[in-house]
């Protein structure tokens, strides 16, 4: 019975496509007249299986960020098996860029006018949840394996701090670790087994490789982006954490990153640049440019995420760097431990059900698919990100680089999951940008005092934000 | 004799200076095209040589399928084209009224035209978004993420300044033309339609180009008022080449070139009118 | 004359004034008809949103109350007071540098585009080989979308970019390659591309203005022994004054509200342009959306609007004669 209904509707659809092809006016189908919009609908293909719980045709709108080289096509390819199995479901993808996504999601959340499936950066979830922009999924998470199935650091960001409700399911994880040039370290005679142990060994290793001549060019020890970057905050906090500092106090009521330990971390990290281990030109660059520099042999060490390894495996014609010397001579190491232990930033993205959605059930089904093993693996492969599922993170199939990142997630930290994190990060970004101006020598003199002053004003602003 | 030589020397100098400035002016555009023929990592590393052994023409192919660029392009053309037509029409009508008739309220209207330019766009963003939503909920007419929503906003934004341009243009056309036409038995509308409009073609084209270029350039409202690639415009789409994890500056530069070229073509085809339109209109301010 | 009669016969004058007014309205039916579409659009997309924005400035609008929008808690003039008198107010802190930078930016860009535009218009108004090609080429920057300008110049300004290559490697103007996208130089990194993109338009306008000045008055002046500079100062400039007046106003407005180039040059909308690159519009966008303080953001916008109104007032007083002579 259902089968016939589907095949009739498929026939009708196919027919209307033909009609509209002749310039007829067709309102019955969207697929025909929305031209270039990539829409994967399997409704017109064979209605073979009828496993789906509901056969009502639904079109799901998904908002994703550019996570992979071909954002919309890659996403659709990942869910292709699902769509084949659920011929009644079609998915329309819209890619938001990170720069404007915040504005757009805010307006969407306010109005309830938005997608069905919404990708959110892990640090954004509490904020959008507190606005009522996304649905609680607390009683459904058992479907996807619950908290135990995912990396704890990222799972923490699926709820608001001090609240047990869950608002999203982790999709992929982005962790930061050290990339270094094996050939340069060898040439400088640095033992890579001990070089990344702690801050002291790291600094002396950097000093040893600094200025090594590679292919006739002098190489800088470290490449790091300064203020003109979207990762300004993520770049600095690992060092604050490693120094034993933290963003906020335990109860999220007080600001602590500007205390002595936090300052130690900032001073150590910025000190690397101030002491000549970094080519100062990199201070005005962004993460992509720093990665480009590393690929080009301008620096021997950088801190980046798993996507760079993928980039080194991507052909030049597709925007990758597989032809570079660095692509064959790099390895991944964890961030060195500071006085407060080892730490790195773990971010990533979560999939959420938009509260204005009219197809919540179907959206949840899709989330279930996307966060299950098969799709996790597939998406990790196209995007170069880490899967969020523990079983996959610990799987022996991971290659050496991915294993290093999977290791890194173990000591990974996230920001406090407070609703005000969005504004807080905006404020931090502004003040940390000023710190880089100080390091570059274009804003006063670089000293512990001047950096502290900037951190203090950052703390004052953050305090005003979290107490409002 | 010597004054003559002096003059030709100074003229030669001035001409050289002019050409030097012309070169400096178009250099960034040439540089954009040159950059777009490099590979991503070359651009990331900074380009400081003028030699290019292997131009990456492939960027101009890849840009269309990495991001769905053709759709953004089509949307921009449609939205900006319709805006130009609508705002242009309104500007011609209202500009003519302001230029020729001293009616009660004309001063107030002129002032409110300037006042509209003083409102920071960001203040509008939220109200317009929610007003659109209200229209949808009340009348069932979707406005957000539609062509006509965007066209409505752009038309309203660019009409006031276009009225200003058109008004100055009409002021420059002698009044006696309509007066003699009216004596010949034309109605006011016929005089306007048959005599004045054909004469103002350069001014209308100039205004049209102005509107089109301004709409082509709009960023903020395009971000917020469109939610799917069905209607998103180039400024929204072009940013997708720069992701957090992968950036394609090579494709970004190729796309930038592709975005600039058609406008340049339109511009070349109409620039004669444009300059003469501006000439007539600008004089009276 | 009007004043006199009004004083003597106030009632009658008022009545006849109303009658005259009514007649004028009736006589101008055609004009009103022409205005109708524009007025509808302006009410819908200018006046209505503005009233809402005005109302928003009296509300406490943050992420928790945003959903209620116009029914959010009313806080009176708190937003204004916070901006004006509370130095700890985060919104205000964010605006301090933006105000200074916008002032510098708007003044330099406005003067820059007008001077460059006029200069080039005069150069191109001469007869020389290839003049029409030169004219077209000069107009091209105006056609480049500003979001492209931001990205393109962002690359060119890099420390190892092409601009430093010219300045240092070719011309040896600096001993060391300076940073343009960090620190105080940032303001130049945004001013220069804006001028580059802005002056071609002014050039057309001035070129048009110059072409309407009759040649013979210059000839007469030359015979009288007036030098080139004197001719420019005493004849060209005064003739162009109405054009300058109008363009000056539009330039000031445009530049104070400049957004695209800065936002695309720094972090593609997500970054912070720095203490010397932040402009009012990038700051207000960040304050409104980044900090979710829409109430304060609106209040700041309203105050900015009034400041601009004052500038328009000054402008009008300064150029009243030129504006009314037409």
Average pLDDT over residues C71-82: 89
* Contact residues, chain A, for B68 at CB < 8 Å: 36-38, 72
Residues in chain C: 326
Can you give the pLDDT at residue C324? 66
Report yes or no: C40 at the A interface, CB cutoff 8 Å: no
Asked if the C-beta of C180 comes within 8 angstroms of chain B's C-beta atoms, the answer is no
Say if A452 is an interface residue toward chain B (CB within 8 Å).
no
Q: Where are the alpha helices (DSSP H) in C214-293?
A: 215-223, 228-231, 237-256, 260-265, 280-285
CA of C178, closest CA in chain A: separation in Å? 9
Element (H, E) at B16: helix B2-36
The torsion of the CA quartet C215, C217, C220, C226, rounded to 10 degrees, works out to -100
Q: Which chain A residue has its CA at the smallest distance from C160's CA?
A: A281
Interface test with C, best of B15, B126, B163 (most C CBs within 10 A): B126
**Span C207-227, mean pLDDT?**
82
Using the Cβ of A249 and the Cβ atoms of chain B, whether some distance falls under 8 Å is answered with no
pLDDT tops 70 at residue C314: yes
Give the separation between CA B272 and CA B278, rounded to whole angstroms.
Answer: 10
Q: What does DSSP assign to residue C279? A: -
Judged against a pLDDT cut of 50, whether residue A9 lies above it is answered with no
Which partners does chain A have (≥3 C-beta pairs < 8 Å)?
A: B, C
Residue B223 is nearest to which of A35, A103, A296, comparing CB atoms? Answer: A103
Rounded Cα–Cα distance for residues A398 and A387 (Å): 11
Provide the residue-wise pLDDT of chain B in tens; the chain has 285 residues.
Answer: 456 666 688 888 999 999 999 999 999 999 999 999 998 888 888 888 888 888 989 999 999 988 889 999 999 999 999 999 999 999 999 999 998 888 888 888 888 888 888 988 888 888 898 888 888 888 989 998 899 999 999 999 999 989 988 888 888 788 888 888 878 888 888 888 888 888 888 889 889 988 999 999 998 899 889 888 889 999 988 888 887 777 888 999 999 999 998 788 877 777 777 777 766 654 443
Q: CB-CB: which of B44, B133, B246 is closest to A289? A: B44
Mean pLDDT score across all residues of chain C: 86
3-state SS, residue C179: coil
Instruction: Give B147-202 pLDDT, tens digit per residue.
Output: 999 999 999 999 998 998 888 888 878 888 888 887 888 888 888 888 888 888 88
Interhelix angle for C186-211 vs C131-143, to 10°?
Answer: 130
Task: Name the residue in chain A with its Cα closest to that of B71.
Answer: A36
SS3 B54: coil
Distance from CA of B185 to the nearest CA of C (A): 16
The 3 state secondary structure assigned to chain A is: CHHHHHHHHHHHHHHHHHHHHCCCCCCCCHHHHCCCCCEEECCCCCCCCCCCCCCCCEEEEEEECCCCCCHHHHHHHHHHHHHHHCCCEEEEEEECCHHHHHHHHHHHHHHCCCCCEEEEECCCHHHHHHCCCECCCHHHHHHHCCHHHECHHHHHHHCCCCCCCCCCEEEEEEECEEEEEHHHHHHHCCCHHHHCCEHHHHHHHHHHHCCCEECCEECEEEECCCCCCCCHHHHHHHHHHHCCCCCECCCCCCECCCCHHHHHHHHHHHHHHHCCCECHHHHHCCHHHHHHHHHCCCEEEEEECCHHHHHHCCCHHHCCCCCCHHHHCEEEECCCEECCECCEEEEEEEEEEECCCCCHHHHHHHHHHHCCHHHHHHHHHHHCCEECEHHHHCCCCCCHHHHHHHHHHHCEECCCCCCCHHHHHHHHHHHHHHHHHHHCCCCCCCCHHHHHHHHHHHHHHHHHHHCC
Give residue C83's pLDDT. 87
Contact B240 A71 (CB under 8 A): yes
Cβ within 8 Å, pair B28-C141: yes
Q: What is the DSSP letter of B46?
A: -
Out of B41, B70, B133, closest to residue A111 by CB? B133
Radius of gyration, alpha carbons of chain A: 24
Question: Between chains, do C31 and B48 touch, taking CB under 8 Å as contact?
Answer: no
Q: Given the structure tokens 């050409």, which residue do they identify?
A: B19
Q: Rounded to a whole number, what is the distance in Å from the CA of C184 to chain B's nearest CA? A: 22
pLDDT at residue C187 greater than cutoff 90: yes
Against chain B, the chains showing at least 3 CB pairs within 8 Å are A, C
* Minimum distance, in Å, between the CA of residue B219 and any CA atom of chain C: 7
Q: What pLDDT is attached to residue A38? A: 42
Residue A240 has pLDDT above 60, yes or no: yes
Alpha carbon of residue A324 to chain centroid: 25
Option in B101, B112, B120 nearest C31 (CB): B101
Q: Which of residues 125-164 of C touch A (CB under 8 A)?
A: 158-160
Residues 61-100 of chain A with CB under 8 A from chain B are 61, 63, 65-73, 92, 94-95, 97-100
Q: Which residues contact A26 (CB under 8 A, 6 or more apart)?
A: A16, A17, A19, A20, A32, A33
What does the pLDDT average to over A238-252?
94
Query: Cβ separation of C272 and A430 shorter than 8 Å?
Result: yes
- Rounded distance between C-alpha atoms, residue B232 and residue A36, angstroms: 12
> Looking at the partner chain, which of B39, B242, B246 has a beta carbon nearest the beta carbon of A307?
B246
**Separation between Cα atoms, residue B161 and residue C248, nearest integer Å:** 14
pLDDT at residue B108, as a whole number: 87
Residues of B in contact with C301 (CB under 8 A): 119-120, 122-123
Q: Tell me which residue in C180, C184, C291 faces A426 most closely, judged by beta carbons.
A: C291
Burial of residue B48 (number of CB atoms within 10 Å: 0-12, 13-18, 19+): middle
| Residues of B in Cβ contact (< 8 Å) with C284 | 120, 122
Among partner residues A130, A427, A457, which is closest to C63 by beta-carbon distance?
A: A130
Supply the pLDDT for residue C194.
97
CA-nearest of B253, B207, B229 to B37 is B253
């Amino acid at each position: 019975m259902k089968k016939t209904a589907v095949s009739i509707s498929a026939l009708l659809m196919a027919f209307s496509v033909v009609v509209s092809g002749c310039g007829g006016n067709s309102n019955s189908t969207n697929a025909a007249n929305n031209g270039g919009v990539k829409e994967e609908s399997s409704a017109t293909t064979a209605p073979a299986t009828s496993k789906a719980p509901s056969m009502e045709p639904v079109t799901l709108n998904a908002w994703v960020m550019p996570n992979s080289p071909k954002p919309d096509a890659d996403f659709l390819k990942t869910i292709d098996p699902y769509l084949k199995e659920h011929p009644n479901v079609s998915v329309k993808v819209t890619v938001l860029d990170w720069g404007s996504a915040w504005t757009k999601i805010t307006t969407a959340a306010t109005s309830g006018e938005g997608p069905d499936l919404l990708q959110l950066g892990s640090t954004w979830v509490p904020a959008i949840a507190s606005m009522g922009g996304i649905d609680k999924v607390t009683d459904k998470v058992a479907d996807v394996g619950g908290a135990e199935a995912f990396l704890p650091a990222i799972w923490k960001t699926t709820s608001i701090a001090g609240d047990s409700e869950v608002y999203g399911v982790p999709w992929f994880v982005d962790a930061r670790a050290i990339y270094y040039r094996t050939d340069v370290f060898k040439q400088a005679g640095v033992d890579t087994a001990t070089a990344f142990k702690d801050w002291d060994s790291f600094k002396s290793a950097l000093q040893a490789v600094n200025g090594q001549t590679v292919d006739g060019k002098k190489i800088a020890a470290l490449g790091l982006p300064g203020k003109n970057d979207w990762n300004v905050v993520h770049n600095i906090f690992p060092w604050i954490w490693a120094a034993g500092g933290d963003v906020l106090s335990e109860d999220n009521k007080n600001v602590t990153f500007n205390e002595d330990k936090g300052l130690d971390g900032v001073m150590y990290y910025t000190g690397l640049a101030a002491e000549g281990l970094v080519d100062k030109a990199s201070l005005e660059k962004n993460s992509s440019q720093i990665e480009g520099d590393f690929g080009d042999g301008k620096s021997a060490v950088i801190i980046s995420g798993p996507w760079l390894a993928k980039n080194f495996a991507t052909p030049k014609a597709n925007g990758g760097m597989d032809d570079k010397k660095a692509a064959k001579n790099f390895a991944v190491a964890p961030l060195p431990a500071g006085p407060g232990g080892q730490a790195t930033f773990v971010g990533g993205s979560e999939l959420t059900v938009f509260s204005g959605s009219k197809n919540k059930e179907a959206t949840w089904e899709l989330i279930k698919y996307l966060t299950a093993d098969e799709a996790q693996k597939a998406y990790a492969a196209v995007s170069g990100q880490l899967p969020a599922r523990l079983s996959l993170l610990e799987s022996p199939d991971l290659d050496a680089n991915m294993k290093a990142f999977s290791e890194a997630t173990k000591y990974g930290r996230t920001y406090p999951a407070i609703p005000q994190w969005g504004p807080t990060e905006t404020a931090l970004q502004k003040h940390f940008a000023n710190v880089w101006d100080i390091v570059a020598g274009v804003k006063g003199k670089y000293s512990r005092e001047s950096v502290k002053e900037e951190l203090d004003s950052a703390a004052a602003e953050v305090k005003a934000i979290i107490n409002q | 004799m010597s004054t003559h030589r002096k003059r030709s020397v100074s003229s030669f100098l001035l001409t050289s200076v002019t050409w030097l400035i012309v070169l400096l002016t178009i250099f960034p555009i040439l540089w954009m095209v040159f950059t777009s023929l490099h590979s991503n990592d070359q651009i990331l590393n900074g380009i400081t040589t003028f030699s290019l052994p292997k131009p990456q023409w492939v960027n101009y192919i890849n840009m269309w399928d990495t991001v769905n660029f053709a759709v953004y392009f089509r949307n921009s053309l449609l939205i900006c084209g319709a805006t130009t037509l609508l705002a242009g029409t309104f500007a011609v009508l209202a500009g003519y009224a302001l230029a020729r008739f001293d009616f009660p309220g004309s001063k107030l209207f002129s002032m409110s035209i300037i006042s509209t330019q003083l409102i920071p766009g960001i203040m509008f963003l939220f109200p317009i978004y929610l007003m659109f939503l209200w229209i949808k909920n009340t009348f069932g007419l979707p406005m957000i993420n539609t062509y006509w929503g965007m066209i409505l906003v752009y038309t309203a934004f660019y009409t006031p300044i276009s009225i200003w341009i058109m008004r100055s243009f009409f002021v420059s056309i002698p009044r006696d033309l309509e007066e003699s036409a009216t004596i010949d038995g034309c109605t006011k509308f016929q005089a306007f339609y048959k005599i004045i409009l054909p004469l103002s073609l350069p001014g209308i084209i100039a205004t049209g180009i102005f509107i089109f270029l301004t709409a082509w350039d709009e960023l903020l409202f395009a971000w917020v008022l469109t939610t799917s690639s069905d209607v998103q415009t180039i400024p929204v789409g072009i940013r997708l080449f720069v992701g957090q994890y992968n950036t394609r500056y090579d494709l970004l530069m190729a796309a930038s070139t592709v975005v600039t070229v058609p406008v340049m073509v339109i511009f070349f085809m109409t620039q004669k009118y444009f300059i003469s339109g501006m000439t007539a209109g600008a004089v009276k301010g | 004359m009007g004043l006199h009669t009004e004083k003597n016969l106030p009632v009658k004058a008022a009545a006849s004034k109303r009658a005259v007014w009514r007649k004028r309205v009736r006589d101008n039916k055609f004009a009103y008809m022409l205005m109708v579409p524009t007025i509808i659009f302006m009410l819908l997309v200018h006046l209505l949103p503005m009233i809402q924005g005005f109302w928003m400035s009296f509300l406490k609008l943050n992420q928790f109350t945003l959903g209620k929008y116009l029914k959010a808690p009313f806080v009176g003039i708190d937003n204004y007071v916070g901006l004006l008198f509370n130095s700890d107010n985060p919104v205000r802190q964010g605006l301090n540098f933006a105000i200074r930078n916008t002032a510098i930016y708007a003044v330099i860009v406005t003067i820059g585009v007008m001077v460059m535009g006029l200069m080039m218009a005069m150069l191109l108004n001469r007869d020389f080989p290839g003049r029409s090609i030169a004219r077209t080429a000069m107009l091209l920057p105006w056609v480049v979308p500003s979001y492209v300008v931001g990205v393109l110049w962002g690359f060119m300004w890099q420390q190892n970019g092409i601009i430093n290559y010219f300045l240092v490697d070719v011309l040896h103007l600096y001993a060391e390659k300076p940073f343009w996208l960090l620190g105080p130089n940032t303001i130049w990194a945004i001013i220069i591309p804006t001028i580059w993109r802005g002056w071609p338009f002014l050039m057309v306008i001035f070129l048009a203005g110059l072409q309407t000045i009759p040649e013979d008055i210059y000839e007469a002046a030359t015979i009288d022994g007036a030098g080139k500079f004197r001719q420019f100062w005493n004849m060209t400039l005064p003739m162009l004054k109405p054009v300058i007046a109008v363009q000056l106003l539009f330039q000031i407005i445009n530049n104070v509200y400049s957004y695209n180039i800065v936002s695309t040059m720094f972090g593609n909308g997500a970054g912070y342009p720095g203490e010397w690159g932040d402009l009012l519009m990038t700051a207000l966008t960040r304050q409104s959306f980044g900090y979710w303080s829409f109430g304060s953001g609106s209040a700041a916008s309203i105050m900015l609007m009034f400041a601009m109104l004052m500038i328009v007032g000054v402008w009008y007083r300064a150029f009243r004669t030129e504006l009314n002579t037409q």
